[in-house]
A and B are shown apart, each in its own frame.
Chain A
């Protein structure tokens, strides 16, 4: 089973700051890495597919990069509505696995 390790676990950020979340895979997964945003009492929402492809309707301040074992989700110019927990997900091999999540709080 591929283990995804996210860092940091928690981040407190002021509006308009840049946020960087990393996801490291225990083995190479190519670009088979996706990012989700989950707000309290809501299901997850897809932000980025296949490491760097923006999903339809997602604000352009969200971007993804990386391949192999190291991936980054970047939120440029954080807005108050971005307060949420962010998860990475690998679909390279079964079972699918998720990172432990990164909670982003607005200062």
Chain B
């Protein structure tokens, strides 16, 4: 079964750093990109960026560029989303999801999704 399993909920203070993870299983991790999506409380979905685990190429949404970092450790089939200095406005649910698009095969929809990681930033 193809699965993405995310790390658990986090409660942090403003200014603290954080890294959350997304571990893929049941497929070749380097054959698909991992995308990150934010959902603020009671709001819609926002695409943050994606990484290609095969070469670590990253594409960020302009809305999130410079505020978060996306990385991957393909040796353990895991992608990461990181903040150096959290703000209260980073409070949200964060999802990872799988997709890919190349000249050979374009499956640029998001499936499956991880279960989500709730990040709460409060003083």
Q: Which of B34-61 contact A (CB under 8 A)?
A: 35, 44-47, 49-50, 59, 61
Number of interface residues of A (CB under 8 A): 23
Assess whether B113 is in contact with A43, with CB atoms less than 8 Å apart: yes
Give bound CA distance, A32 to B101, whole Å: 12
B interface residues (Cβ-Cβ under 8 A, vs A):
35, 44-47, 49-50, 59, 61-63, 95, 97, 99, 101, 107-111, 113-116
Docked pose: A104 CA to B31 CA in angstroms: 36
Report the minimal beta-carbon distance from A76 to chain B, rounded to whole angstroms: 22
Complex Cα spacing A99 to B115, Å: 21
The answer to the question of A68 belonging to the interface, with a C-beta cut-off of 8 Å to chain B, is no
- Evaluate contact between B111 and A55: CB separation under 8 angstroms: yes
Neighbour of A101 across the interface among B44, B99, B114, B116, CB < 8 A: B44
With a cutoff of 8 Å between Cβ atoms, the chain A residues found around residue B97 in the complex are 43
Residue pair A44, B109 in contact (C-beta under 8 Å) = no
Contact (Cβ within 8 A) B59 A43: no
Q: Contact at B63–A98, with CB atoms within 8 Å?
A: no
Given A44-B95, A44-B110, A87:B61 Cβ within 8 A: no
Q: Which 10 A-B pairs have the closest CB atoms?
A: A91-B108, A43-B113, A95-B61, A96-B47, A46-B111, A34-B109, A98-B45, A49-B109, A101-B44, A100-B44
Query: How far is A89 from B107 in the complex, measured between Cα atoms in Å?
Result: 13
**A44 nearest CB neighbor, chain B only:** B113
